[in-house]
Amino acid sequence: MPSGLRIVIGGDDAGFPYKSIIAQQLLSDPRVSSVIDAGPSSEEDKTAYSHFAIAAAEKVAKGEADRALLICGTGLGVAIAANKVRGIRAVTAHDSFSVERSVLSNNAQVLCLGQRVVGIELAKRLVKEWLGYEFDPNSSSAAKVKIIEDYDREQLIAAHFFLLIAITISQSSTVENKQSFEHDDNVIDPKQDSMANDDYVPGTEAEKKLVRKIDLYILPMMWFMYLMSYMDRTNIGNAKIAGMANMILTRTRPSRYLPGIMFVWGGVTIAMAFTGTYEHMIGFRILMGVLESGFAPGMLLLLSSWYKNEEQSKRFAVYISAAILSGAFGGLLAGSITSGLDGAHGKAGWRWLFVVEGAATMGVALIACFVLPDFPANTSRLKFSQEEIDLAIRRLQHGRPQVVSEDEAKLGHWQAFKLSMTNWRTWLFVVGYMAIVGSSTLSYFYPTLVKGLGYESTAAQYMTVPIFGVAFVVTALTGYFADKNSKWRGVILCAWMSVAMLCAIIICVVYNFEARYALLVIMAAALWASNGLSLSYASTTFGSMPHETRAISLAFVNAMGNLAQIYGAYLFPASEKPKYLKGFGVISGLCFTGAVSYVLLHVFLKGKKRT
């Protein structure tokens, strides 16, 4: 039993006489260290009991008191009021057995008595008995009490969630009262545009130096971060072989938010090495997926916040190249780890795979905290001088006047979401990107497909390397060419999707092993090149939107596109080998859909600019 209990006592005018007597009893009891009077202070105080009961219960909930004793006319009203305080369990008890069980079975912290129900001597005896009981956390009742406590926590989380929504809507309403946006035809303030043009001269030596500096801070770090993200995402499959929000980012600093979630998911990856059941593994993998879901959209937003439209395609190609190289060599690296460390310290090799890659992820995240810049308006002056920051903002405002400074008004989350969801561009990009990602799930089956084409198991693993190698070169060349011809990104995407579609159709009717392998190489290159270019095309198209709307649009396109991986995982069942007609047939249809989406985007966007 805890020594020196802190008791808070309260009630109302109907229970004041008992309260005064029992307060003196508590003060003289050696088991009580202090008595806090929550009121009332006199029998003439007619304040409602609920005020005093809630005040007393809150002291217990906050840890300022250990227990509470509440006395009113019946003991019922004060119990009802006290139970409204989260985490409090208050009971009305007028006999010894009920008092005993309220503590031993229910771990109730608040005892309520009715002056009009029991005599003073019985009340004093019940209080004395009450002080002598202590809840046993190892008893059979503990599990039942925990259910109550868990429900309390769930309600608290839900309350915070709905409070956040209310605040967001309130912010949105405030902004809506101050400004309105024409989200389909982007309205540009001529004054702002002319000022940006007057201050900015493109192509100067200072700008070229700035772009090189931006590249130095962003591209290598972004590449390594995406590489670790991609390897962590696929290590569950490798382990099996051996033996798995941007709305916040617009209000935070990317140099803290992105490495932060990366550091946590690296820790979750390590934790997966110590799981003992399939259910735990699935739970950790879901948690890691939740954390990773904020990474890719955040990196896309950061890229589009530093580079001009005609500079983005090659940078997005660098971003995607991390995934390509991970596909080429990630499996070989995983094989080396699982075989080299198998049995070390009594642990299987696949568990070491999670430990090594998780630790590497956390290490990269720590470095990224110091290297990765924030948005131009709020990045560290240690990385860029004030003159460089001013130039970075001015050069983006040249042709993208919606780029704002740090102290300019921001859209609320809800308003930005509405603007994004009612913009037809968002939905066409969703369709196009879903087609690309759905078709690109082909990459997960490269070893299976190559083996089905006639190669042995070991050779099949090595024969996937040229597929990724060609895709790496084609993606890089596409990014460079698209930046030189930025007005034709939609047409380039349509062309690559058409190439992938034709390859898929031909594979369905040609069964020569060498011919199918060559077509697979071409199709993979076309899809990987389309992946990077589609993201830069979306980024530049959304660039004229308000910052918050652009963040949500990019995140929504990325999230919806990646949903295509769900059905893509079922395109190449083992029962279909070696022809896999269903898989390649579906991919040809997806590629056709993607080609149509991007050519429509090109036509519509070009028409908008003319009008």
Residue 572 confidence (pLDDT): 75
Residues serving a catalytic function are 72
As a whole number of angstroms, the distance between CA 563 and CA 130 comes to 58
Per-residue 3-state assignment (H helix, E strand, C coil) for 378-406: CCCCCCCCHHHHHHHHHHHHCCCCCCCCC
Per-residue 3-state assignment (H helix, E strand, C coil) for 481-534: HHHHCHHHHHHHHHHHHHHHHHHHHHHHHCCCHHHHHHHHHHHHHHHHHHHHHH
Which residue is listed with tokens 């930046």? 483
Question: Among candidates 356, 332, 354, which has minimal Cα distance to 239?
Answer: 354
As a whole number of angstroms, the distance between CA 304 and CA 302 comes to 6
As a whole number of angstroms, the distance between CA 345 and CA 354 comes to 15
Q: Which residues pair with 394 in a beta bridge?
A: none
Structure tokens at 133: 């009981």
- How high is the mean pLDDT in each 10-residue block of the chain (611 residues)? 81 95 95 94 92 94 93 96 93 96 96 96 96 92 88 63 44 39 38 48 82 85 77 47 45 78 86 76 74 74 79 81 73 67 75 84 89 81 80 74 46 73 87 89 69 57 77 89 86 94 91 84 91 84 72 80 73 74 89 93 73 43
Residue 446 confidence (pLDDT): 67
Question: Among candidates 251, 241, 245, 164, which has minimal Cα distance to 448?
Answer: 241
Residue 172 confidence (pLDDT): 39
Beta strands 5-11; 90-92: pairing state:
unpaired
Structure tokens at 605: 């966007």
Residue 592 confidence (pLDDT): 95
Residue 156 confidence (pLDDT): 61
Question: Among candidates 136, 51, 149, 147, which has minimal Cα distance to 101?
Answer: 136
CA angle 588/603/610 to nearest 5° reads 170
Question: Among candidates 276, 439, 238, which has minimal Cα distance to 354?
Answer: 238
580 to each of 437, 504, 512, 572, how far by Cα in Å?
19, 10, 14, 6
3-state helix, strand, coil in the chain (%, to 5): 70, 5, 25
Residue 1 confidence (pLDDT): 42
Dihedral (Cα; 235, 238, 244, 246), 10-degree rounding: 30
